[in-house]
Amino acid sequence: MNLEYSAAEMMSITAARALTNEMICFVGIGLPSEAANVARLTHAPDATLIYESGTIQTKPDVLPLSIGDGELCESALTTVSVPEMFRYWLQGGRISVGFLGTAQIDRFANLNTTLIGDYREPEVRLPGGGGAPEIATNAKEVFVTVKHSTRTFVKDVDFVTTVGFGRDGKARDGVPNIGRGPTLVITDLCILKPDPVTKELVVTSLHPGVTSEDVVAATGWDIRFAGDLGTTPTPTAEELKVLRNLKARTDAHHSGQ
């Protein structure tokens, strides 16, 4: 049976599949939250979702608008203070994976959520780093999910809010007590992983119907492709049903219905 699905649904479901049942996941708002909760509602019911506001084992019925959304606290097993969340859980090495979004990402998986343009006279001010810099430093690994375009995938980010592998790909070399950094980037076109040696992002899998030329056109540097380039598995009917129901509940809730 051929299922109809959008590129955005393909991205969210592919990102959801990256989470496993035993993971303790520090979840960012937006696309990461969508993916993490689809995982929780499908193949990873025992995954522990943690949000920056201090909510632990959070099981929201609808997607939160922000880390301060009451849905997170109401649906959590418990809520701790933000200092405890960062000092004990994150810096204590208890987070399996940080799931982040971004406004810009470069070839060495550095993330920018601070500004667009020159620092002294920016074209756009963005929301800032929040907990992302600490998450990328202390979580055992980081997944990033973001829509693929030349505006987002730039050769060098305008500002390094959250370090991936630094401007030269060597920022994590020889640094003790630091996580592996970004191990997976999921977009609406493909899956990317850092090269084991250079740390530059490499396309390892294309989503169905996407060509190499599509990815090249949407990337702001000379993107490389793995020799054993794969094709990402398509969403299942159950995954699509769960995602669509989640988004429908969220839209209804936040519109006051």
Q: Which residues, 6 or more positions from 215, have their beta carbon under 8 angstroms from its beta carbon?
A: 148, 189, 190, 203, 206, 223, 225
Left (φ > 0), alpha (ψ -120 to 50) or beta: where does 185 sit?
beta
* Alpha-carbon gap, residue 122 to 13, rounded angstroms: 34
> E-assigned strands of the chain?
24-27, 48-51, 55-56, 78-79, 97-100, 104-105, 111-112, 115-117, 122-125, 141-145, 182-186, 190-194, 201-206, 224-231
Q: Establish whether 52 is a catalytic residue.
A: yes
* Alpha-carbon gap, residue 193 to 183, rounded angstroms: 6
Sequence letter at residue 110: N
The one catalytic residue among 4, 22, 34, 52: 52
**Measured between alpha carbons, how far is residue 254 from residues 33, 39, 212, 249, 250 in Å?**
16, 22, 38, 9, 6
The residue whose two tokens read 């030329």 is: 213
- Cα angle vertex 178, ends 177, 179, to 5°? 130
Q: Parallel, antiparallel, or unpaired: how do β-strands 141-145 and 97-100 relate?
A: parallel
* Alpha-carbon gap, residue 187 to 66, rounded angstroms: 22
**Measured between alpha carbons, how far is residue 83 from residues 31, 86, 92 in Å?**
25, 5, 12
| Residues annotated catalytic, as ranges | 52
